Amino acid sequence: MSRPEGAEFYISKLVGKAIMDYHMLTDGDRIAVGVSGGKDSLTLLKVLKDRQAFVPIRYELLAVHVDMGYPISLASGLRRYFKKIGVEFHIEKNSALRKLKEDKINCFWCSWNRRKSLFELAHRLGYAKVALGHHKDDVVETILMNMFFNGEISAMSPYQELFRGEIVVIRPLVYVEEDLICRFTQEAKLPFSDFRCPKGLASNRSRISRIIRELERVCPDVKTNIFRSLRRIKKDYLV
- Domain positions in the chain are 6-237
pLDDT band of residue 121 (cuts 50, 70, 90) is very high
pLDDT band of residue 203 (cuts 50, 70, 90) is confident
pLDDT band of residue 4 (cuts 50, 70, 90) is confident
pLDDT band of residue 113 (cuts 50, 70, 90) is confident
* Cβ atoms of residues 89 and 49 within 8 Å: no
% of the chain exceeding 70 in pLDDT: 89
Question: Tell me, what's the pLDDT at 160?
Answer: 96
What kind and span of H or E run contains 169? strand 167-170
**Domain 6-237, CATH:** 3.40.50.620
Number of Cβ within 10 Å of residue 107's Cβ equals 15
Question: Tell me, what's the pLDDT at 112?
Answer: 80
Which stretches within the chain are classed as H helix? 6-21, 39-51, 75-85, 107-125, 136-145, 178-188, 204-216, 222-229
- 3-state DSSP call for residue 67? strand
* Cβ atoms of residues 1 and 13 within 8 Å: no
201 pLDDT above the threshold of 80? no
Question: Tell me, what's the pLDDT at 239?
Answer: 87
Give the whole-angstrom CA distance, residue 176 versus residue 19: 12
Question: Tell me, what's the pLDDT at 2?
Answer: 66
pLDDT tens for each residue of 69-91: 776 678 889 999 999 999 999 99
Question: Tell me, what's the pLDDT at 144?
Answer: 97
pLDDT band of residue 195 (cuts 50, 70, 90) is low
**DSSP category for residue 72:** S
Question: Tell me, what's the pLDDT at 110?
Answer: 75
Average pLDDT of span 195-208: 70
C-alpha radius of gyration, the chain, whole number: 18
Q: Return the sign of the alpha-carbon dihedral for residues 179, 130, 62, 4.
A: positive
pTM across the whole model? 0.90
Give the whole-angstrom CA distance, residue 53 versus residue 142: 33
Q: If you average pLDDT over every residue of the chain, what do you get?
A: 90
pLDDT tens for each residue of 17-66: 999 999 999 999 999 999 999 999 999 999 999 999 999 999 999 999 99
**DSSP category for residue 189:** T
